[in-house]
Amino acid sequence: SWSRSCIQGSRVASSFLQQQFLAHRIKKTKTKQKTPQVLRMRLRHNMDPKSRYPLGDQVRSMRAWKCLGAAHVESDKAIVFNLMVYVIMYVDGFISSTKSAAEIEELVGDLHGKTTLKIEDHYLSPAHLRQVFAHVTRSKAAGALTAFEIRKNFTCGAGVDRFLADNPRVTSVALRHEGVHDRSPIFLALAAGAPLARLDLGGNPGVGSAGARLVAAYLRGNGTLRALELGDTKMTNPGAAALGAALAENAALEELGAGMNLFGNTGAAALLEGAAARGALRRLNLGGMKQLKKAPLAAQVQALKGVCAVVW
């Protein structure tokens, strides 16, 4: 009961970003052993970069035990196990919510003349991404930077709204497989009218139709965005319908990726209708969705021939 009270209290104390991050990392701890000795040995083994399942920075980036509420555990055994993992990591000095200035500088690299900042699969937490953004904003060498690609971490895009506000020259944003959801800061940036030319939120199931609606609101009247990727975001018919309606009002967007989602013919028809309304869209990706029935959509696809390439 004590451990359950700790977990319940932690859910109140933890931010949504921290919860999402830790829930993801707990799942990455691949072990069924529940004794402190075996856990310590396994965690130390996983700290080795040569390990099949290296934990590395993902362990050092956990904030504190209050974040364990993110695991949404159901049994007392699981609660005790997660607390045990935390205690071992704390005692062994693995836990750190931030990186040193030297670590951030090494991660970002030399910014002189660099136009795109790419960080992929570095087990970054939301706090780490904020540090990266702060470092880039302060750097006098980042004057040529116009794009960033953050992939396969679990940052939720933390701090991106402030970063884009402070660095208006950055017009291309990619946050792929980053745990982005419909309450992530990127949507605050869109609501503020960030003048983006490219936006890639693919591989973030948390975006869903709610996030698609927010993107649709951004598209209405927007004259800067040329390419938008929302593939594999668990978008359903309502989200696709909202995007389709926005396309009818947008004369700038040329590429839209909406494949590997959950919407059916209703959503696909709405996107095709929106693409035909303005004639600006040049490529529409609807691939990876076996639920779509092509025959009922054939007439709409044919009407776009020579104007917009539709990928199934």
pLDDT in tens, 73-93: 344 455 455 555 555 555 554
116 belongs to a structural domain: yes
206 pLDDT more than 60 = yes
130 belongs to a structural domain: yes
17 belongs to a structural domain: yes
**143 lies in the same domain as 243:** yes
Mean pLDDT in residue range 273-284 = 96
Question: Given this model, what pLDDT does residue 42 score?
Answer: 57
Cα dihedral sign, 265-266-269-271:
negative
Query: Tens digits of per-residue pLDDT, 152-198?
Result: 887 889 999 999 999 999 999 999 999 898 989 999 999 999 999 99
**127 lies in the same domain as 23:** no
Show which of 60, 91, 122 is a domain's final residue.
91
**251 lies in the same domain as 164:** yes
96 belongs to a structural domain: no
Please give the residue range of the domain that contains residue 7. Answer: 2-91
Show which of 36, 64, 91 is a domain's final residue.
91
CA dist 245 and 213 (Å) reads 10
Mean pLDDT in residue range 304-308 = 95
> Total domain count for the chain?
2
**42 lies in the same domain as 85:** yes
62 pLDDT more than 60 = no
Query: Tens digits of per-residue pLDDT, 110-138?
Result: 999 999 999 998 878 788 899 999 999 99
**134 lies in the same domain as 243:** yes
**219 lies in the same domain as 85:** no
**168 lies in the same domain as 75:** no
Show which of 68, 91, 114 is a domain's final residue.
91
Confidence of residue 220 (pLDDT cuts 50, 70, 90): very high
Of 205 and 215, more confident: 215
Question: Given this model, what pLDDT does residue 201 score?
Answer: 98
- Closest listed residue to residue 223, CA positions, set 250, 199, 191, 187: 250
- Which pair of structure tokens corresponds to residue 151? 């992939």
**Contact status, residue 219 vs residue 196, Cβ threshold 8 Å:** no
Average pLDDT, the chain: 80
For tokens 């205690």, the residue is 87
Backbone angles phi, psi at 216, to 5 degrees: -60, -40
CATH of the domain at 297: 3.80.10.10
**Contact partners, residue 140, CB within 8 Å, separation at least 6:** none
**3-state secondary structure at position 197:** coil
**263 lies in the same domain as 298:** yes
Question: Given this model, what pLDDT does residue 288 score?
Answer: 96
